[in-house]
C-alpha cells in the first residue's frame, strides 16, 4: 500500500468511528425513551407491548363497527316511523 491509500483508509476509519458514535448515541436515546415512555427495558418487552396494543386496537375497532351498525339500524327505525 502506498501513502495515498493509507490516508484514504485512515479517513474511512475516522468516518466510520464518527458514524458509530452517532449511532450509539441514538441507540442510547431510543432505549431511554423505550424505558421512560413505554416502560420497556428490552426489545422483547417492547414487542410484547406492541402486540398487546395492536390487540386492543382490533377490539376497539370491532366495537366501533358493531356500534356503528347498531346506530344505523336505530336511525333506520326512526326514519321508518316518521
Using one digit for the tens of pLDDT, what is the confidence trace for 16-59?
A: 999 999 999 999 999 999 999 999 999 999 999 999 999 999 99
- Of 23 and 76, the structure prediction assigns the larger pLDDT to 23
Q: How many domains does the structure of the chain reveal?
A: 2
- Helical segments of the chain, H only: 3-38, 43-81
Q: Is there a single domain that holds both residue 65 and residue 31?
A: no
Q: Is there a single domain that holds both residue 35 and residue 46?
A: no
Domain range for 48 is: 41-82
Give 35: exposed, middle or buried? Use CB within 10 Å, 0-12, 13-18, 19+: middle
Q: Is the pLDDT of residue 82 over 80?
A: no
Q: Is there a single domain that holds both residue 66 and residue 47?
A: yes
- Provide the pLDDT for residue 74: 93
Amino acid at each position: 500500500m502506498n501513502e495515498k491509500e493509507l490516508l484514504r483508509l485512515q479517513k474511512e476509519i475516522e468516518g466510520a468511528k464518527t458514524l458509530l458514535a452517532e449511532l450509539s448515541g441514538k441507540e442510547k436515546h431510543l432505549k431511554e425513551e423505550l424505558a421512560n415512555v413505554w416502560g420497556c427495558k428490552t426489545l422483547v418487552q417492547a414487542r410484547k407491548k406492541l402486540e398487546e396494543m395492536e390487540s386492543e386496537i382490533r377490539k376497539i375497532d370491532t366495537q366501533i363497527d358493531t356500534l356503528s351498525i347498531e346506530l344505523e339500524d336505530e336511525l333506520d327505525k326512526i326514519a321508518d316511523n316518521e
